[in-house]
Each structure stands twice: as structure tokens, then as C-alpha cells.
Amino acid sequence: METFITTDPVKAAEFIRQGRLTAFPTETVYGLGANAFDDDAVLRIFAAKGRPADNPLIVHVVSLEQINEIVAELSDHARLFIERFFPGPLTVVAVSSGKVARAATAGLDTVAFRMPAGRIAQELIKAAGVPLVAPSANVSGKPSPTTWQAVLEDMDGKIDCLLQGEPTEIGLESTVVDCTGDVPILLRAGAVSLDELRTVVPETLDGTGMLSSAPRSPGMKHRHYSPAAAVRFYKDNKSVEAGRRSAFIGLERPEDNFEKLMIAGSMEEYARELFEFFRECDRIGIDVIYCQPVSTDGIGAALMDRIKRAAE
């Protein structure tokens, strides 16, 4: 299959309406979209990514009407989060109406959805006329793509269309919060921090540490975000292995010498650059990537989470 490349959301939407796949930029990472109501199209996403069938997808919407169509009901907490954070990098889990394709929810009776903030993503969903399910547009297990070039690296010839845009603004996947119970539970850290969720619903629990025992967010048990290079935290210069090709990413210049170096000016920039840095290190054959640990304030929690997963 030849992958059609365009900057026009209306052209890309034609593929969606024909039951085919298009990758597109969001404010978090590039997604791989299909019509959320089309079973065959959704199954094609799992095939293109090599994604395990038990890992459900996020439905991307542009309106409250679309949300009401895919959920059976919204809890008060869900409504509050939607009011405060949509459109933006927050995914809400609610009880499903059963309308989205079965494969999309991996057989669960809940559905995850978000309203992306990016203009191109919104125009694509509007032109398609249906909500889009979209996992990150990478081969399963690789770091999420934050540039259209990274999408092509993984998906050229496996998907029908790529809607080109700028490098993504945030660079890490959305925060996921489960709103199906009495209190909201944070399932995946992202740019919307736990503290921010608690400004809206103070009882919100941190479920990110308890996922292996209670896999509410099935995706989090799968290996994620891993470059081919080994990933380590950078602690002090004793930890750097001699004789291996090494790279460093962090906020402060390290004492050791590295073949490749990225010093970010802020935690936001560190987050934005992390996945592309991983990919670039693989392209040039780096053996070990050292990442400077950061505080878990703001997006720091999500950043530390992604580095830890890559280091596992």
C-alpha cells in the first residue's frame, strides 16, 4: 500500500469515511485514526501497529454531542473535568453506550475519550463527521511519534494516509482519568497533572502505581516507549559505562562526555523532546541513553513515568 501524504484535513477525512486509516497530529503526539463506529477500520489499526487486542483505544471527539453518543452516562466528576480541561490533553473514561466498535474498547463496558486541542486534529474530526479512535501512530512498543517523519519511519506503507503537521507541542501522551467509580482515579500521567485534577475534584486518587495489581488501564501493563538503546537514569559520573556509545538528555549539562547531548531549557521542553531524542539516538546507533531525573511537579510526573517505562 502506498501512504498518501497531505496537509489538508479534508483530504485526510475522505480516507476515514472510506473506512481507511490516517495518521494525524494532536497537541500530545501523532495519532493513527479510524472511524470509531467502523469495526473493520478499527481492526486495521491493531494490525498496522501490531497492537495487542486487549489494549483499548481512545475516542477523539470535537463536540459534546459526540461525547453523548458514545457514553451511556457521565458522572458529575466527568462533567467537571470536561468543562475544565476539554479541549486539551486529558482523556476521560466513562461507561460506554456500546456504540463504538467492539474492538476499540477491547470488550470493556467503558470507553475512553478526549477532545484534542490542535486545530488540524479538530478539522479532521469535523470533516470526517464521526469520532476517531486513535492510538499513538507508532509500531507497538516504540516511542510515540512527535513528528510526521517519525510516523513515516514506523508506518510508511502500512497506513493509507498521513496528515502532516508541525512537531507536537506537548510530546507525551494525554493524562487518563477513570470517572466510572465513586472517586476519579488517575490511570496515566500526562500534561494535566494530578494536582490540576484535584483543583476540580479534590478526592481524585493516584492509580498510576497500582496498575499491575488492578489493570484498569490495560495499556499500562504492556511495554511502552522503548528505543532500541538501553535507557538509564543519570545519577553521577560513576554510572556512565566506558566503551559504549552514550547519549544524555536533561536540564543541566552533565560532567561526563557524551556523543549526543540535549540540554532542555525547561521541563516542558524536556517532555517535548524526549521521544524524538530516543528515536534519533536509535538512528545513529547509540547504545545507552542517560536521562536526568526531574521533580514530579507539573508534567514532571509524566516525564519520569515515561523514562521509567523505557528503562524497564
List of residues contacting ligand TXA (CB under 6 A):
26, 28-29, 31, 55-58, 91, 93, 105, 108, 110-112, 134-136, 173-174, 176, 187-188, 216-220
Residues 6+ apart with CB under 8 A from 22: 12, 13, 15, 16, 32, 33, 124, 159, 160, 161, 162, 163
Judged by beta carbon, residue 122 or residue 136, the one nearer Mg ion is: 136
- State which amino acid sits at residue 79: R
- State which amino acid sits at residue 29: V
Q: Left if phi > 0, otherwise alpha if psi is -120 to 50, otherwise beta: which for 12?
A: alpha
The footprint of Mg ion (CB under 5 A) covers 136
CB 81 within 8 A of CB 18: no
Q: How far is the CB of 295 from ligand TXA (least distance, A)?
A: 22
Starting at the edge strand that comes first in sequence, how are the strands of the sheet with 260-263 ordered? 230-233, 288-291, 246-250, 260-263
Q: How far is the CB of 27 from Mg ion (least distance, A)?
A: 15
Judged by beta carbon, residue 167 or residue 254, the one nearer ligand TXA is: 167
Answer with the entry of ligand TXA, Mg ion, none that 6 interacts with (C-beta below 5 to 8 A by kind).
Answer: none
Cα dist. 306→72, 115, 151, 226 in Å? 32, 22, 19, 9
Q: How far is the CB of 64 from ligand TXA (least distance, A)?
A: 18
Answer with the entry of Mg ion, ligand TXA, none that 174 interacts with (C-beta below 5 to 8 A by kind).
Answer: ligand TXA
For residue 24, give the 3-state DSSP assignment: strand
Q: How far is the CB of 173 from Mg ion (least distance, A)?
A: 6
Judged by beta carbon, residue 3 or residue 55, the one nearer ligand TXA is: 55
Judged by beta carbon, residue 20 or residue 188, the one nearer Mg ion is: 188
Q: What are the strands, taking DSSP E only, across the chain?
A: 4-6, 22-24, 31-35, 58-60, 71-73, 90-96, 110-114, 132-133, 161-163, 175-178, 185-188, 205-206, 230-233, 246-250, 260-263, 288-291
Answer with the entry of ligand TXA, Mg ion, none that 38 interacts with (C-beta below 5 to 8 A by kind).
Answer: none
Answer with the entry of Mg ion, ligand TXA, none that 191 interacts with (C-beta below 5 to 8 A by kind).
Answer: none
Q: How far is the CB of 168 from ligand TXA (least distance, A)?
A: 9
Residues 6+ apart with CB under 8 A from 150: 30, 138, 275, 276, 279
Answer with the entry of Mg ion, ligand TXA, none that 105 interacts with (C-beta below 5 to 8 A by kind).
Answer: ligand TXA
Q: How far is it between the farthest Cα atoms of the chain?
A: 58
Q: How far is the CB of 92 from ligand TXA (least distance, A)?
A: 10
Judged by beta carbon, residue 232 or residue 308, the one nearer ligand TXA is: 308
Judged by beta carbon, residue 175 or residue 292, the one nearer ligand TXA is: 175
Answer with the entry of ligand TXA, Mg ion, none that 188 interacts with (C-beta below 5 to 8 A by kind).
Answer: ligand TXA
Judged by beta carbon, residue 67 or residue 93, the one nearer ligand TXA is: 93
Answer with the entry of ligand TXA, Mg ion, none that 134 interacts with (C-beta below 5 to 8 A by kind).
Answer: ligand TXA
